[in-house]
Amino acid sequence: MPPPPPPPDPDDDGTGQAPRGRQAAPELDVDRRTVRERLGQVDVPDRPPDADPVGWPLEALRYPFRRPIRVLGVAVAVWTLADLVSRGNLFLGLALKVPLAALLLRWQMRAALATSDGKDTPPPPFVASDVQPEALGATARVLGRLLLFLLPAAFTLLGRIMDSPSDPDLGGSVALLAGALAVAGLLFAPVALLGVAFGRRSWTWPWGALLPLARGLVPCIATVLGWGAAALAELLVARLAAAPFVGFALGSIALRIACLAWQLVAARGLGVLARRSGP
């Protein structure tokens, strides 16, 4: 015996279409951001990574001051405290400033990475990941490349000294050649910094760094001058050690604001160079 037919659907009007009351509901506009993104706990790129910042290059001068003042203020306060310590004990101050210089280099690397990702605000100056083995290894690789780039200048001077140890002639053409090699090595160092930060190994060698250096000569010069200004600031801090406490503190604060802001401006330029160079 065949099975009985199914009972008729009370909502079927015989047209083969769903009744008006049972039409499919329209799709809702669902916010697909994560909870952390909705709460503002995750940085979202301000614009596509391949686009230049609005107002570039003059906007780089405002870059260090875009976050709340406490971000730059924390870095300035830490460096000023190190200056105060060095005023009382030079050796202890030096023991503080050497790791601070390494952390400043990491800050530059993270600022360049953030700019390359399309972000228009600098990262915080100190994060826990900066002291992890991978980050310390990256910092060591940058410093190692710097020493490697300066070897030709050192060998030029060393060769002349070995030729005449008692009375080496380091003037004239020798000094000019050594100086030119040193300047070239220093200019390659910012490109090597980008190569380490972005995993571009070819940029960490002179033959691979030539094209990026030509494309971003101004940011590379700014980076070298920024570190030169940091070294000059140390000399000025040492000269201010005999000044009264208030004068020393105010002078240290002014120097640190200028130097740290310069470092971030240079990092902004390096990030734009990496952004233009593509993945």
Which pTM value belongs to this model?
Answer: 0.76
Alpha helices by DSSP H, listed for 164-203, are: 173-198
Res. 241 pLDDT band, cuts 50 70 90? confident
Compute the average pLDDT of residues 55-74: 84
Residue pair 147/115 in contact by the 8 Å Cβ criterion? no
Taking only the tens place, the pLDDT of each residue in 99-137 is: 999 999 999 999 999 998 888 888 999 999 999 999 999
Q: Which residues contact 273 (CB under 8 A, 6 or more apart)?
A: 194, 212, 215, 216, 219
Residue pair 74/127 in contact by the 8 Å Cβ criterion? no
Q: Which residue has the higher pLDDT, 120 or 29?
A: 120
pLDDT beyond 50 at 180: yes
